[in-house]
Amino acid sequence: MRRGVYAGSFDPVTNGHLWMVEHGVRMFDEMIVAIGENPDKKYTFSVEERVAMLRETTSHLPNLRVETFENRFLVDYAREQSADYILRGIREAADYEFERKMRYVNADLAPHVDTVFLMPPREIAEVSSTMVKGLVGPEGWELVVGQYVPEAVFRRLLAWRAGRTEI
């Protein structure tokens, strides 16, 4: 069985993340989307909200699990899950340089876990969670941000902007 792990903070989930997940489930028999939780990082959405967003936006994918992990190296988490692959996205040259270095560190720690890189299409390549959150607020932001996130995430961003916690 080919099992892959795709990890990130997903704060919030973007169409770029969804593109990666949908391609990953076609590559692997089982795909795990692992939401990383770093206690030193401040998140906009709680881990429970991020899990809910991912599960809602990927409910159509039967060979997918959404999990969380914290305070460990991704390669160790992959090994604990019996995954032989880590899936990573490359949007630009800086991503490539960082991911190339991490791939070698991961290989030192777990030589049997391979890293697979995917490059998203141009129209979503520049989209990041940080960019999406930075676009929220100015007049007309809804039209812009709505292009870059799944509907379930867009509803949460509307509620977040309005200061509500419920959707």
* Active site residues per annotation: 17, 41, 91, 129
CA-to-CA distance for 58 and 65, rounded, in angstroms? 9
- Alpha helices in 3-57, H assignment, sequence order: 15-27, 47-57
E strand or H helix that includes residue 93: helix 93-109
CB atoms within 10 A of CB 5: 28
Radius of gyration, CA atoms only, the chain: 16
CA-to-CA distance for 34 and 24, rounded, in angstroms? 13
Q: Alpha carbon 153 to chain centroid distance?
A: 13
Q: Alpha carbon 156 to chain centroid distance?
A: 17
